[in-house]
Amino acid sequence: MRWWWIPFLLFALFLGVAGYQLTQPKDEFVPSAMIGEPLPTFDLRPAVDGMPGVASSDLRDGTPHLLNIWASWCVPCIAEAPQLERLREAGADIVGVAIRDRPEDVAAFLSRYGNPYTRIGADDLSEVQLAIGSSGVPETFVINGKGRITYQHIGDIRAEHVPRILAELEKAGG
């Protein structure tokens, strides 16, 4: 008879834990475990005619780069296009990896929204995307001159993110 309160206590404990979890902010982004690690080895064919593809060796040339994971079918990629152009104008070398895309769609996207890229590789099976720890599009990585990932920006780049990305790019070059 003295144990009647145990189920009540367990139920109250469950409500307390559930209430606590429901009030915590959600973190929908999964940071890459590759931050601080060297890029995995890859060699992607060109995603569009007239531009070179991209290989991991291209990103070990002694200068820092931005590696932008994107797709023509990605609506946030449209929103970030002006900011990528702004980064390019500020001197950033931006290399693109087009995820599960068709060359004609990539060309149409670049024609409509601009082309800030020096190279664009086609990642038809998202193999490079997964290898570097990207969980969605768009995502942008800062790669130092030795091919090491030093920073990850998850989601579309907005105007307020540009100074931080430029600072991370400068830090990666030093």
pLDDT in tens, 124-142: 999 999 999 998 999 999 9
Q: pLDDT class for 173, splitting at 50, 70, 90?
A: confident
- Reported pTM: 0.83
Q: What is the mean pLDDT of residues 12-39?
A: 82
The angle formed by the CA atoms of residues 79, 80 and 84, to the nearest 5 degrees, is: 150
* pLDDT on residue 26: 67
Q: What is the mean pLDDT of residues 21-27?
A: 74
Task: Give the Cα separation of 65 and 172 in Å (integer).
Answer: 9
Nearest Cα to Cα of residue 96 among 63, 57, 131, 48: 48
Share the mean pLDDT of the chain. Answer: 93
Task: Give the Cα separation of 150 and 79 in Å (integer).
Answer: 24
Residue 174 predicted with pLDDT over 60: no
Q: pLDDT class for 4, splitting at 50, 70, 90?
A: confident
* pLDDT on residue 19: 86
Domains and CATH numbers, the chain: 33-173 (3.40.30.10)
Share of the chain above pLDDT 90, in %: 78
Residue 22 predicted with pLDDT over 90: no
* pLDDT on residue 1: 59
Q: pLDDT class for 150, splitting at 50, 70, 90?
A: very high
Task: Give the Cα separation of 67 and 117 in Å (integer).
Answer: 9
* pLDDT on residue 82: 97
For residue 170, give the H/E element and its range.
Answer: helix 162-173
**Which burial class, exposed, middle or buried, applies to 143 when counting CB atoms under 10 A from its CB (0-12, 13-18, 19+)?**
buried
* pLDDT on residue 2: 74
